[in-house]
Amino acid sequence: MRLQDRVCIITGGAAGIGAATARIFAQEGAQVVIGDVNENAGSQLVAELGNQAAFYKVDVVNRQHVQAWIDDVIARYGRIDVLINNAGITRDGLLVRVKDGELVKQMPEEDFDLVVAVNLKGVFNCTQAVAPYMIKQGHGGAIINASSVVGIYGNFGQTNYVATKAGVIGMTRVWARELGKYGIRVNAVAPGFILTEMVQKMPPHILTMMQERTPLGRLGQPEEVARVYLWLASDEASFVHGAVISVDGGIVMGT
């Protein structure tokens, strides 16, 4: 029961790694607060977890919406101990595609802007809303940001996604410097290829390629990332601060 009676917020908590995290945190005694745009999946997960969980439909891009959500969580539970900035999306595409020397396609500006808004500004919005409450509480807290292995090594066809995940690492290091004096630990996790619901829908040859790129010879499970979130959120990681922990089976991203 490493998170007994702690209030833990998980963005993007309705499915994938977020849902696995919600389940494990609840098993460890936490009061889990899930924020997600997927109302159906979120409501089903809360029904599964019972009184230890609550769901809010939240768009992390909307600053006012995020602030109202966090204010309501404080009014309801009186504290926030852990923030997991897990929400994220992809809109993959090449920067430019050229055939016979002529431009035939490029990454749409709206795809770049949307991924930046969710994956980067969303993390900023949620952290800036939560941090003042954590400071005021006076007993510290833990903020854990979802980066990605591609934020460290880059990846073909993911200019927008890589920019956000590298940016998350940068923000993590800044916030570790700024918030450490309040006892708030800030860390990032960088998953590799993880077998979420979204990944399971990919063509078999893509899944095979992912496995071949991973030295352990398999894809990761959502629970394997969630357990690292758990460790970072718990007192067991009490002196881990400003770190970026890869959960990737040893992968080094190539082209």
Query: Any idea which residues carry the catalytic annotation?
Result: 161
User: Of 249, 204, 188, which is closest to residue 224 (Cα–Cα)?
Assistant: 249
The Cα 105–Cα 79 span in angstroms is 49
State whether the Cα torsion 90-95-100-102 is positive or negative. Answer: positive
Return the residue matching tokens 């890589």. Answer: 162
Q: At what angle do helices 222-233 and 16-27 cross, to 10 degrees?
A: 50
Return the residue matching tokens 């979120």. Answer: 42
Q: Counting Cβ atoms within 10 Å, is residue 227 exposed (0-12), middle (13-18) or buried (19+)?
A: middle
Neighbours of 195 (CB within 10 A): 18
